[in-house]
Structure 1
């Protein structure tokens, strides 16, 4: 069967085509402004979308899209600051013990003298050393001689002597290294005890036999 070609007079003219195109474009624009924009984006330049309820629909859609986008974002993790490092321990200042000062020797020595008896007590001292001393009898009087014998020559060195004394006190300063001390003699008929107190720089106190 042979297809029939319509005559040229039956085809629309160019003017008619342009008119149809313009009308279609106008209708599409009108739909975009009055329907699509209010319904999709909540934009209503003509106000018709609000009357038709399309603007509210678009605003709701935008709000839902915004919520969905927010929910899709990963949660923000607040940075937790690291705790500060503990301060370095401060070493306690070294406490130095005070120097130990040797205490000067101090002694109390007693000698008992029978009638006519003599006894000697000596301190070992260095040259220039000082010793405070005092002695006293329990009764009666004695004779005394405070002296030293040089350790190498044996020469006698006297510091003082007396007769008929019941007590005596002074400071003994050693003239040289060696032994320095007292010799007492009892010239009475009674037994006498002599108490000697020494305090100072000496190494030893000893009764000589």
Structure 2
């Protein structure tokens, strides 16, 4: 099998060439050691080239990290040694002594019959409608109340599973209005006063990475609650 020709003796490098190549390689290696390795690894920069190349700062950071690691290790060793040197403490249970004198008899108190105080009455909001809907990540929905101008509707909504973005607005008769906007809100409640006759309500958007359950309750002076989206 033929691979290659055997070189002739005159084609082989001479001893002088090999020595010169070795010297050149040693000089290059020494230059790299002084200008690159020493500044970047040990923060030693005898020529100043490492500072110009930004390598000295790298070496200083490495040296600082090594010193901090050594200091942390030494502090841990001291803490372990000090905890080992501390004697174990015994738990002493407190002793209870009985009183030397007999307790004086309790004074007699006349019983006074009294009527129990009436329990405070709690008023719950009178909601006309309640909606529960699941929104997937990125999904939005819109609910509107049909209202006359000046009508007042009370509301409460909450997002279970994560906050939502919302926009409270209205439209109708060629008019539109934005009442309030919010980002990353878990719940809200209050009153919605119609600025004009039309549809007034909320747009919700789920910006979470998981499904959320939106709960909306409404009551007050409006016609109907309808889902627009």
TM-score range, shorter chain: 0.3 to 0.5
* TM-score, scaled to structure 1: 0.48
User: Normalization by structure 2: what TM-score?
Assistant: 0.44
Larger Rg: 1
